[in-house]
Amino acid sequence: MSWAMDELEARAARQLDGLRSFQESLEAITVTVTSADGLVTVEVDAKGALVDLRLAHGANELGATRLGEQIVATSALAAQRVYARVAAVTEDFNESFGDMLGARPAGE
């Protein structure tokens, strides 16, 4: 009986490690995008939140309205890309974790 409990504990530990690894992978995802004209560069995190904004020399010459639009458009593109990465990482995790959950301990 002790052997079965040891196997169960080891399996649970592997599953927890998989969950921790998945969480760390998600937290590490960022995307940086630069506008076509090179004046605006944004970085977003896995939630799509803006974490960095860099404006190249001359960006202020766009005027407030156009610059604002450029920042929003570049941020939206970065968010789309980060969500695609999050989806891919989540899909990989779901496949591997599903396999892990479906695996039977030795002896069953």
pLDDT at site 7 = 84
Q: Which CATH superfamily is domain 1-102 in?
A: Nucleoid-associated protein YbaB-like domain (3.30.1310.10)
CA atoms within 13 A on the CB side of 92: 11
CB 89 within 8 A of CB 25: yes
Classify the phi-psi angles of 48: left when phi > 0, otherwise alpha if psi is within -120 to 50, otherwise beta.
left
Cβ-based burial of 34 (10 A; exposed 0-12, middle 13-18, buried ≥19): middle
Query: Tens-digit pLDDT profile for the chain (108 aa)?
Result: 677 888 888 888 888 888 899 999 999 999 999 999 999 999 999 999 999 999 999 999 999 999 999 999 999 999 999 999 999 999 999 888 777 766 555 555
| Domain boundaries defined on the chain | 1-102
Q: Which residue has the tokens 């974790």?
A: 97
**76-106: pLDDT as tens digits:** 999 999 999 999 999 999 888 777 766 555 5
pLDDT at site 72 = 97
